[in-house]
Chain A
Amino acid sequence: MRNKHQNWGWMLAVDFFFAGMGGGMLVIAAVVELFGGGTRMSLLGNLLGPASMCIGCGFLILELGKPLRGWRVFMNPKAILTVGAWMMSIAIASGFVYAAMAIPLDLIFWREWAILGKCLAVVNLITGLVVATYPGVLLGRLKGRPLWVGPGIMALFMLSSLVTGCALHYLSALLMPVLGTLLAPILTPGSALFFLSGVLVQVPDAAIWRVLPGGIAALLLLQLLLWSGYLWVKQSGATAAEAASAQRWISGDLSLAFRGFMVLGTIAPLVLMLLPIQAAPALGAVLVLLGGVTMRLLTVRSGEDRTFLPGEQRYRLRLPTGNEEFLHKNWL
Chain B
Amino acid sequence: MTRYAMVMDTRRCIGCQSCTVACKIHNELPIDIIYNPVTTIGPTGTFPDLTLSFLPLICMHCDNPPCVDVCPTTASVQRDDGIVHVVDSKCVGCLSCIMACPYGARQHNHETGTVSKCDFCKDRLEQGKLPHCVATCHQKARIFGDLHDPDSDVSKLVKNNRTVQLLGELNTNPNVFYIY
Interface residues of A (CB under 8 A from B): 1, 4, 6-8, 63-67, 69-70, 72-76, 78-82, 85, 138, 141-145, 303, 306-312, 314-316, 319-320, 322, 327
Bound complex: CA of A7 vs CA of B98, how far in Å? 8
Q: Assess whether A309 is in contact with B96, with CB atoms less than 8 Å apart.
A: no
* B106 CB to nearest A CB, Å: 7
Contact with A along B97-128 (1 / 0, CB 8 A): 01111111011110011110000000000000
Give the nearest-CB partner of A73 in chain B.
Answer: B72
B129 interface contact, C-beta 8 A: no
B74 interface contact, C-beta 8 A: yes
Give the nearest-CB partner of A139 in chain B.
Answer: B99
Contact with A along B23-57 (1 / 0, CB 8 A): 00000000110000111110000000000001101
User: 19 A-B pairs, CB-CB below 8 angstroms?
Assistant: A4-B32, A65-B109, A66-B113, A69-B92, A73-B72, A74-B72, A76-B69, A85-B72, A142-B70, A143-B100, A306-B104, A307-B170, A309-B55, A309-B167, A310-B41, A312-B57, A315-B38, A322-B32, A327-B31
Bound complex: CA of A271 vs CA of B37, how far in Å? 52
Residue from the set B91, B94, B109 with the largest chain A CB neighbour count within 10 Å:
B94
Give the nearest-CB partner of A1 in chain B.
Answer: B32
B166 interface contact, C-beta 8 A: yes
Provide the residues of chain A in CB contact with B32, threshold 8 Å.
Answer: 1, 4, 319-320, 322
B93 interface contact, C-beta 8 A: yes
Supposing A1-B32, A65-B113, A81-B70 touch, asked if A8 and B40 sit within 8 A by C-beta, the answer is no
Give the nearest-CB partner of B70 in chain A.
Answer: A79
Q: Assess whether B37 is in contact with A81, with CB atoms less than 8 Å apart.
A: no
* A93 CB to nearest B CB, Å: 20
Provide the residues of chain B in CB contact with A63, threshold 8 Å.
Answer: 94
Bound complex: CA of A145 vs CA of B101, how far in Å? 9
Supposing A85-B72, A142-B66, A143-B170 touch, asked if A309 and B95 sit within 8 A by C-beta, the answer is no
B73 interface contact, C-beta 8 A: yes
Indicate which residue in A78, A307, A316, A322 contacts B69 across the interface (CB closer than 8 Å). Answer: A78
Give residues 60-107 of B contacting A (CB, 8 Å). 66, 69-75, 90-96, 98-104, 106-107
Q: Assess whether B41 is in contact with A311, with CB atoms less than 8 Å apart.
A: yes
Q: Assess whether A307 is in contact with B102, with CB atoms less than 8 Å apart.
A: yes
Provide the residues of chain A in CB contact with B96, threshold 8 Å.
Answer: 79, 81, 138
Bound complex: CA of A8 vs CA of B98, how far in Å? 9
Q: Assess whether B99 is in contact with A145, with CB atoms less than 8 Å apart.
A: yes
Give the nearest-CB partner of B96 in chain A.
Answer: A81
* B128 CB to nearest A CB, Å: 29
Bound complex: CA of A152 vs CA of B86, how far in Å? 31
Q: Assess whether A79 is in contact with B66, with CB atoms less than 8 Å apart.
A: no
Q: Assess whether B66 is in contact with A6, with CB atoms less than 8 Å apart.
A: no
Q: Assess whether A309 is in contact with B69, with CB atoms less than 8 Å apart.
A: no
* A245 CB to nearest B CB, Å: 13
Contact with A along B130-174 (1 / 0, CB 8 A): 000000000000000000000000000000000000110010100
Provide the residues of chain B in CB contact with A142, threshold 8 Å.
Answer: 66, 70, 99-100
Q: Assess whether A76 is in contact with B106, with CB atoms less than 8 Å apart.
A: no
Supposing A8-B99, A69-B92, A322-B32 touch, asked if A76 and B170 sit within 8 A by C-beta, the answer is no
Bound complex: CA of A303 vs CA of B72, how far in Å? 19
Supposing A66-B113, A144-B66, A145-B99 touch, asked if A82 and B72 sit within 8 A by C-beta, the answer is yes
